[in-house]
Amino acid sequence: MLAYDFMVNAFIAAGIVAVVSGIVGYFLVLRGQTFAGHALSHVGFAGATGAVLIGIPPIWGLVGFTLITGLGMGALGERITGRDVAVGIILTLALGFGLLFLHFFTAYATQVTALLFGNVLGVDTATLWTLVGLGAVALIALGVIARPLLFASLQPELAEAKGVSLRFVALAFLAILALTVAECVQIVGVLLVFTLMVGPAATASRLTARLSTGILLAVVLALIEAWGGIAFAYWTDLPSSFWITALSGTLYFLSLLR
C-alpha cells in the first residue's frame, strides 16, 4: 500500500488534517458552533470555484473566502454565529455563488467532484506543504488564544467580567476555523467537512469528562477515521471519503450507546 507515492502523500495529508481538525473541532463542539463550521466549508466551495474561474489555484480561493467570511461572521458576533437561520442563509448564498461560478466554467466535472467530496489520493507534494503551513498557523494561533477561548466558551459572562474580550476571541477562533475547514476540504471535500471536524470531537466529548483527555481522544479518533478511510479505500476500491464518513458515523453512534 505504501509502495505508491500517492498513497504515502495521502496518509501524510490525512494525518496533518486529522490532528488539526481533531483539536480545533473539539473547541468547535464545545462552543456549539458546529453549524458555522459546516457553513464555512460551503463558502469555501464558492471561493474555490471562483478562484478556478479567474485562474488561481482553488486552494487559495478556498482559504481566502473562508477566512474573510469567518472574520466577517466573528465581527458580527452573536447576531450571526448564534443563529442557525443567519448561518444557513450564508451557506446557501455561498453555494449559489459556487453554482454561478461553475456556470461560467464547465470544463472539469472531476475537479468539482473533488472539491465537493474530496480527493485525498490526488494530493501532491506542493499541497502537502500548504497543508503543513496552514495547519501550523491554525495550531499556533489556537495555542495563543486557547485559555481565554476555553473560558469564554464555557462561561462567557464570567470571562467577560474577568477581562476577556469575547468578540476578539470569537473572531480569532472563526479565523482558525476557516483555515481548518480549508484543510479538511482537501481530504473529504466541502460537503463532508463535518465528518472529520465534528464527528471525532463530538464522539470524544461523549466518552470522557476530562478536557485534556477529550482533546487527545478527538485527535486519535480523527486519525483512526482518516487513515482507516484511506486504507479501506485502497483495499475495497471504494471512495476514501465514503469510508471516512462511515467510520466517523459508526464511532459516533457507538458512543451514543454508552
Partner 1 sequence: MTAVAFDQVTLALGERRILDKVSLDIRDGEFVAVLGPNGAGKTTMMRAILGLVPASAGTIRVLDAPARRGNPGVGYLPQLHRPQEGLRLSARDFVGSAARGHLWGMPRLDAETKREVAWALDCVGATNLADRPLLNLSGGERQRILMALAMLGRPKLLLLDEPLISLDPNHQVAIVDLVRRLRDELGIAVLFSAHEINPLLGAIDRVLYLGGGQAALGSVDEVITGPVLSRLYGAEIDVIRLRGRIFVMAGAHDLERAEHRHAGHDHGHDHGAHEYQGN
Among 13, 14, 20, 29, binds partner 1 (CB under 8 A): 29
What single-letter DSSP state applies at residue 82? T
- The yes or no reply on residue 258 touching partner 1 (CB under 8 A) is no
**Residues in region 124-153 near partner 1 by CB under 8 A:** 143-148, 150-151, 153
In the stretch 68-107, what mask flags binding to partner 1 with x, by CB under 8 A? ----------------------------------------
3-state secondary structure of 224: helix
What is the closest distance, in whole angstroms, from the C-beta atom of residue 57 to partner 1 in the complex?
33
* DSSP string computed for 9-22: HHHHHHHHHHHHHH
- The yes or no reply on residue 154 touching partner 1 (CB under 8 A) is yes
User: Site for partner 1 (CB under 8 A): how many residues?
Assistant: 29
- From the DSSP assignment, how many helices (H) and strands (E) are in the chain? 13, 0
Nearest 5°: the CA angle 161, 166, 170 is: 160
- The yes or no reply on residue 21 touching partner 1 (CB under 8 A) is no
Q: Which residues of 46-80 are buried (b: 16+ CB within 10 A; e: fewer)?
A: bbbbbbbbeeeebbebbbbbbbebbeebbeeeeeb
In the stretch 187-206, what mask flags binding to partner 1 with x, by CB under 8 A? ------------------xx
Among 54, 163, 237, 258, binds partner 1 (CB under 8 A): 163
- The yes or no reply on residue 177 touching partner 1 (CB under 8 A) is no
| The three three-digit cell numbers of residue 11, written as one number | 496518509
Among 5, 32, 235, 250, binds partner 1 (CB under 8 A): 32
- The yes or no reply on residue 159 touching partner 1 (CB under 8 A) is yes
Tell me which amino acid residue 98 is: G
Measured from the CB atom, the residue of 48 and 171 that comes closer to partner 1 is 171
Q: Which residues of 133-153 are buried (b: 16+ CB within 10 A; e: fewer)?
A: ebbeebbebbeebbebbbbbb
Return residues touching partner 1 (CB under 8 A).
29-32, 143-148, 150-151, 153-155, 157-164, 205-206, 209-211, 214
